Structure 1
Amino acid sequence: MSITRIIKCSNCGVFNTNKEYCKNCNTLISDAKKRELKASQVKQKQIDEVIYELENPSLAERLKKHPSFLYKILGWILYSAILVVTTIGAGLAWFIAMVAAG
């Protein structure tokens, strides 16, 4: 015993029975299929962002891997400065949140 689903196409207004795509205009009307497509798009976007980050490292990361010793030192100094500034910012944010919380 199967469930009969009658879905009205939002594009052309035709009622479809147990279909994922409209029989008149071929528009996607299945909510499950729409969610599945959206999830795969989000996953692909996350994969693309990670690939971009791996292929395009920051200036400090590139300098740390440079063959020249002087550039390596400069890279580590820049990396350390960024780390210190980030730590100070996080500490200030934590302190302000604790003061606001009472």
Structure 2
Amino acid sequence: MAITRNVKCPNCGIFNKNRDYCKNCNTLISFEKRQEQKVIAYKKEELKKAKDDIANPNLAERLKKHSFWLYRIVGWVLYSAYLLVSAIGALIAWFIAMVAAG
């Protein structure tokens, strides 16, 4: 038993029976197809961000891979300082949460 679905086109107002696109203006009216397109667009955007992060590393990462040894040392110092500040921030956040919890 097939389910019939009547969907009103948001663009022209024509009712369409069991269609993904409007028969009058060819606007996408299928909820499932719109969701699939959103998921595909989201995945493409995430892939683009990941490629950008790989192609453009931050200053510490670039210095850690530099050919001159002094720059490599500076890169590791910057990276270590970043990790230290992050760890101190996490410790402070944990301490505040424990004090607030009682």
CA distance in 2, matches of 1:41, 1:94: 37
CA distance in 2, matches of 1:28, 1:8: 11
For the residue of structure 1 that corresponds to 2:7, the secondary structure is strand
Match of 2:93 in 1: 93
What percentage of residue pairs aligned between the two structures are identical? 59
Q: CA RMSD in A?
A: 0.8
Displacement, 1:99? 1.1
- Across the two proteins, how many residue pairs are aligned to each other? 102
Match of 1:33 in 2: 33
State TM-score, norm by structure 1.
0.96
Map 1:19-58 to 2 at 5 A. 19-58=19-58
**Structure 1: which 5+ runs fail to align?**
none
* Structure 1 outlier segments of 4+, above 4 Å: none
Displacement, 1:54? 0.4
State TM-score, norm by structure 2.
0.96
Displacement, 1:98? 1.2
